[in-house]
């Protein structure tokens, strides 16, 4: 893990001006290597969500530099950032964000549809992604026919179907019980270990952050602590697609 995938250099983010000016980020400098599994933690208002939005090309810095694979993201147009997202990034959210009347297969195909892939390529890639998260045979089910843990696995399949370099996971276990949370973390761990996908995860749960190799703690718009986890969790309960009742 010696290649820098991401570099933030003196990144600030300021909202408003004058009396209502808010400095959400105060000169963040951070390097993330390809293949890392990183947990971002911090209290509400610490800047961690703003940092994730910038990393995900959903927002831009007020000043400073953001380099992704050597490209200055802060200098890209909106359309160029969108293309970068489609090509290199996958997203997993706390609330799953699945289309309610659409099958698991179709939900997973969606990023490929936006990218312009043909129907047969989309179908094959989505089927493989669902199988990789333990949902082979569940392709035709809608979110209403799936448990919370299964829905999050669909969301993870959607995030990885484009073979991204980076997956950004925002509280991915926040809506799940303890057992399903550990199963989802086991999936993320396997994606990082077996496929080499770089994972950056926001979480407020120390037992979920324990899976990460590195922990970044935000406080008041800055990085208060950047530590290597000496003993990351290396295994989790095996995911089940037949007894998942969360």
Q: How far is CA 4 from the centre of its chain?
A: 18
Q: Is the pLDDT of residue 31 over 70?
A: yes
Cβ distance 109 to 161 under 8 Å?
Answer: yes
pLDDT mean over 58-77: 96
Number of neighbouring beta carbons within 10 Å of residue 227: 9
CB atoms near residue 237 (< 10 Å): 13
Cα dist from 222 to 18, 45, 52, 87, whole Å? 21, 11, 13, 29
List the structure tokens of 61.
Answer: 């810095």
Average pLDDT over residues 9-27: 94
Distance from C-alpha of 153 to C-alpha of 110, rounded to nearest angstrom: 15
- Quote the pLDDT of residue 3: 73
Write down the pLDDT at residue 205.
93
Query: What is the C-alpha to C-alpha distance for residues 206 and 68, in angstroms, rounded to an integer?
Result: 28
Pairing label, strands 214-219, 37-41:
parallel
CA distances in angstroms from 137 to 22, 111, 140, listed in the order given: 49, 21, 8
Q: Residue 19: its pLDDT value, please?
A: 87
Confidence (pLDDT) at 246: 44
In this prediction, what percent of the chain has a pLDDT beyond 90?
Answer: 87
Per residue in 87-119, pLDDT (tens digit) is 999 999 888 899 999 999 999 999 999 888 999
What is the structure's pLDDT at 94? 87
CATH number at 35-60+78-228 = 3.40.50.300
- Residue 168 and residue 200: Cα distance in Å, rounded? 5
Question: Could you tell me the residue ranges of all domains in the chain?
Answer: 35-60+78-228
Q: Would you state the pLDDT for residue 238?
A: 61
Give the Cα separation of 89 and 162 in Å (integer).
Answer: 8
| 169 HSE (CA, 13 A, CB side) | 34
Full DSSP string of 26-49: EEEEEEEETT-EEEEE--TTSSHH
Q: Is the separation of the CB atoms in 135 and 91 below 8 Å?
A: no
- The helix (run of H) or strand (run of E) holding residue 11 is strand 4-15
User: Is there a contact between 52 and 29 (Cβ–Cβ < 8 Å)?
Assistant: no
Residue range 55-76: mean pLDDT, rounded: 96
CA–CA distance, 164 with 160 (Å, rounded to integer): 6
Check residue 1 and give its pLDDT: 43
């Amino acid at each position: 893990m010696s290649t820098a995938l991401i570099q933030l250099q003196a990144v600030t983010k300021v909202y408003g001006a004058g009396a209502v000016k808010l400095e959400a980020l105060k000169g963040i400098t951070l390097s993330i290597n390809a293949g890392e599994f990183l947990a971002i933690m911090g209290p509400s208002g610490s800047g961690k969500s703003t940092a994730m939005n910038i990393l995900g090309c959903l927002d831009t810095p007020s000043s400073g530099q953001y380099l992704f694979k050597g490209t200055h993201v802060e200098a890209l147009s909106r359309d160029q950032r969108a293309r970068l997202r489609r090509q290199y990034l996958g997203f997993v959210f706390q609330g799953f964000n699945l289309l309610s009347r659409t099958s698991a297969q179709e939900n997973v195909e969606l990023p490929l549809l936006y990218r312009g892939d043909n129907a047969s390529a989309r179908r094959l890639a989505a089927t493989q992604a669902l199988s990789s998260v333990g949902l082979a045979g569940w392709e035709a089910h809608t979110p209403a026919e799936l448990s919370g843990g299964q829905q999050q696995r669909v969301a993870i399949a959607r995030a990885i179907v484009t073979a991204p370099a980076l997956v950004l996971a925002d509280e991915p276990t926040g809506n799940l019980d303890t057992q399903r949370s550990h199963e989802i973390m086991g999936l993320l761990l396997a994606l990082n270990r077996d496929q080499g996908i770089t994972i950056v995860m926001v979480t407020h749960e120390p037992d979920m952050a324990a899976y990460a190799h590195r922990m970044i703690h935000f406080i008041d718009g800055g990085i208060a602590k950047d530590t290597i986890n000496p003993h990351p969790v290396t295994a989790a309960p095996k995911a089940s697609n037949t007894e998942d009742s969360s």
